[in-house]
A and B are shown apart, each in its own frame.
Chain A
């Protein structure tokens, strides 16, 4: 591989902005959880949010598909544009939005249904497929993308809850991508997994970025360094620093970022 090619691989693949957030503020009752966050999430990139507990990174992630709507005390202001369209526009249906902006949670949470139905559920309720054959195809392709197909193809009708933790998490990822989302939000997707399952999910994330924008919240700085192209560091509700992952981990501009990534402040 030539020097030029090696450089290119590390460069941010596409500079198109998928999500543009401006002056985003979140209050939970009297608690000012997020203060004036401006971020451009690029398409076909993995963006990692890091920061100590309570820094606002998960809160911000949950703004991106209006999950905070489900929290009665939460008040979100500012603007978040997905492909230029305001996702907080009253005409936007949050359910439709969440089909476009999928989410994977910390703990694997498969539906108490078969492996097949877990993946088929989204396409069914959104009416994305016209026939059983088409649905079968979607299920297989999503399970393949989630690197789970070979392990489950002979037992698609067994309950999803019977899989191992790592398999369940990959099943949840297959379920999240079954509605053909454009953005995939992941809230500490590996924190309940062992290192092997973690490596599999990380490999998967790297493959998914050829099709989706992936935004991942992680407590593991090494994971952020491994999987992401861009990293955002949150602290006390502020977005302190946002930049190319290699730069953040070798030569951050803000002393707070440096202190956090080198293990000096929690």
Chain B
């Protein structure tokens, strides 16, 4: 990794600028996910509304990242690592924007779920899963900040745990629905939430893979470990 400064110091400032924006975006997304999961568990409507409202800030940051990247490509003609930084930043921003949408969706569904009976233990499990995925996202972003290939590789490994948690939740919801059909509406919402959180984990993995590409110039070659074992309706 090249740590020398550019002769044109404004080029360094531009590159640092887009990276700072994407890191800021990451912070907002991590907070949105954690808050949305807490709002679901504690039935805190005000908190859920705040998460919904703040998604606009995440979207606006993505637009800003894209604008800055376009400008940088057009004016600086970045090459090699510099070019990979720009491409990686754009891809990470796109992933984070999707994660923000998932957090917002969680918040919206929590408002609906507040009107229904509590499904025993479900929201606590979802919050644990959200916390696990939040840590994954944090590790992915830290690996980006520090260009830490090992940490990025570990994110890819850890995503398997998230897949396991999702599979377990899927079975749990099926059980609830079979026990009492009145749980079906709530469990459908909860299942969408769990699936969306699992997707955030996939985005964290995508970010980690981008970091490996950024640092090495190569996408990781070995296939990512998958523990996706939801037997489609067989249980």
> What residues make up the interface of A, taking CB atoms closer than 8 Å to B?
221-222, 225, 249-252, 255, 258-259, 261-266
Contacts and interface: CB of A to CB of B under 8 A. Distances in A.
B83 interface: yes
Contacts of B79: 221, 225, 249-250, 261-262
Contacts of A265: 4, 7
B192 interface: no
Q: Which residue, of A249, A255, A263, has the highest number of chain B Cβ atoms within 10 A?
A: A263
A264 B80 contact: no
A258 B80 contact: yes
B80 A261 contact: yes
Interface string B1-16: 0101111100100000
Contact of A258 (B2, B7, B11, B77): B2
23 contacts: A225-B79, A249-B79, A249-B80, A250-B79, A250-B80, A250-B83, A250-B84, A251-B218, A252-B80, A255-B2, A258-B2, A258-B81, A259-B4, A261-B80, A262-B2, A262-B79, A262-B80, A263-B8, A264-B2, A264-B6, A264-B7, A265-B4, A266-B7
**Residue among B7, B8, B11, B78 with most chain A CB within 10 A:** B7
B217 interface: yes
A262 B82 contact: yes
Contacts of A255: 2
Nearest to B82: A262
Contacts of B218: 251
A249 to B, nearest CB: 5
Name the prevailing secondary structure of the A interface residues.
Answer: helix
Contacts of B7: 263-266
A262 B8 CA distance: 10
Interface of B: 2, 4-8, 11, 77-84, 217-218
A264 B4 contact: yes
Contacts of B217: 250-251
Contact of B77 (A222, A250, A251, A252): A222
Given A250-B217, A251-B217, A263 B6 contact: yes
B77 A262 contact: no
A88 B83 CA distance: 43
A258 B79 CA distance: 8
Contacts of B4: 259, 264-265
Nearest to B76: A263
B80 A251 contact: yes
Given A250-B217, A262-B81, A265-B4, 6 more contacts: A222-B77, A225-B79, A258-B81, A262-B78, A263-B7, A263-B8
Contacts of B81: 258, 262
Contacts of A258: 2, 80-81
- A221, A252, A255, A262: most-surrounded residue (chain B CB, <10 A): A262
